[in-house]
Amino acid sequence: MLANDYIKYVMYKPDTLGSVTTANATDNPPPSTPKPLEGVRILALEQMQALPYATQLLARLGADVVKIEPPMGGDSGRASLPAMTDPSGRRVGATYLRNNFGKRSICVDLKSPRGVELIKRLAPGFDVVAENSKPGTMTRLGVGYEDIAAVHPAVIYASVSGFGNTVPTPYREWPAFAPIVEAMSGIYEMKRDGDHPPFVAPVGALGDIGAALFATIGIQAALRYRDLTGRGQYVDIAMYDSVVAMTDIVTNFWSMGLRNGNLGPLIMNGFRAADGWFVLQVGREAHFAKLAQLIGRPEWLTDPRLATRQGWVDHLEDIVRPAVEQWAGGKTKLEACRTLGAAGLAAGPCFTDEEVVADPHLSARSMLTELPRTDGISQPILVPGNPVRLTAMANDTERRPPWLGEHTTAVLTDELSLTADELAALRSDGIIA
């Protein structure tokens, strides 16, 4: 691992897969430029992805995030697969590695009253205390909102859970992972084909990352509210709510009379080119006319079967698709999309994983961060960079994810002035690690 624990953003060269170069930082302010959330401090009792993605984004924007992990095993995301081995020989899973850049890790046993007391002593030094356990868990442990607010009235306390903490709901006690709330949002059934089973997790952990993004917004809004009023509050984010907000077409289209997955009359489909697939969207008559002219089918403009948007959909398979794929058959998917785009038509190639990591757009915007492995494997781990680009913020380095309990001694010494003997006693009793 890099000696100073900081990692340069990298840009994968599109013509040489696996060859990397550090991102050009000349477009960024100097590293001394402050980040917008510098001074904001977050104590995160978190695991897996729904909250860790949020706190990582806040850390990338300058917040100081201290992550609380159980002494035995740490964040459950460390046990995910695929994994690498850390310098101490422990397995570190992909979920953990991609969600914890820029944080510090301390190990505290929250099942012990002495561990709970440590958290209560730490809390007043932080602006935000955040957790993503099953509803009621933190309260039972003694570190729920009321417990923390009693020692830190101005705290912003944020919870991310499957179905929320503050409003009665029939699902409140259900455990939840991203695919569960995605299924409940209606989008799986809306997109399901015939009698086939639903296609689960089609875009990765949408339920986790969506909830994390809303948590990020809620935390920053609560901080601003405290700036205005001096008052803290509880930020309650439900993963189910978050996915429903992102799959808004399910409820909106239902209310407007569309049923059974009907998306309305438009072309929004995949088409085959010489080397793979691309997606084309045509939803307006002017765009359909451009498509007809571009692919050499001007007769479509006077064909009564294609006179309406519904006609495009009804004749997608017997007229539209064969013509589009005949035109695209002599082109790569990228060439087809460039030509369509030049004509004002929205189209994008369906990239493979190797094409994504070599994409020049991601290179130009420094959207891949290289994490060197610590287990002798030369291929670095790639993690998405920060998609929030602020022109006044330096954006060229990352601090690697912390090893388990790496900062326990430093944080408890700095924050609580614990002596070496006190730390040794806590460690001996298994309260910290």
**Single-letter code of the amino acid located at 219:** I
Largest interatomic CA distance in the chain:
87
- Is the Cα torsion angle 419, 425, 431, 433 positive or negative in sign? positive
Angstrom distances, CA of residue 364 to CA of 12, 260, 360: 9, 41, 6
Collect contacts of 316-321 with beta carbons under 8 A, ≥24 apart: 316/267, 316/269, 320/267, 321/269, 321/271
> Which residues make Cβ contacts (< 8 Å) with residue 195, sequence separation at least 6?
none
Omega before 82 cis (within 30°)? yes
Backbone angles phi, psi at 285, to 5 degrees: -60, -40
Q: Which amino acid is at 228?
A: L
Six-digit token string for 275: 């080397």
27 assigned to active site: no
Q: Angle, nearest 10°, between helix axes 239-246 and 206-229?
A: 100
208, 236, 241, 396: the active-site residue: 208
The answer to whether 1 touches 87, Cβ cutoff 8 Å, is yes
Q: Give dist(CA 78, CA 104) in Å, integer.
A: 15
Q: How many other CB atoms are there within 10 angstroms of residue 194's CB atom?
A: 4
Strand order in the sheet with 346-349: 267-273, 276-282, 346-349
Catalytic residues: 208
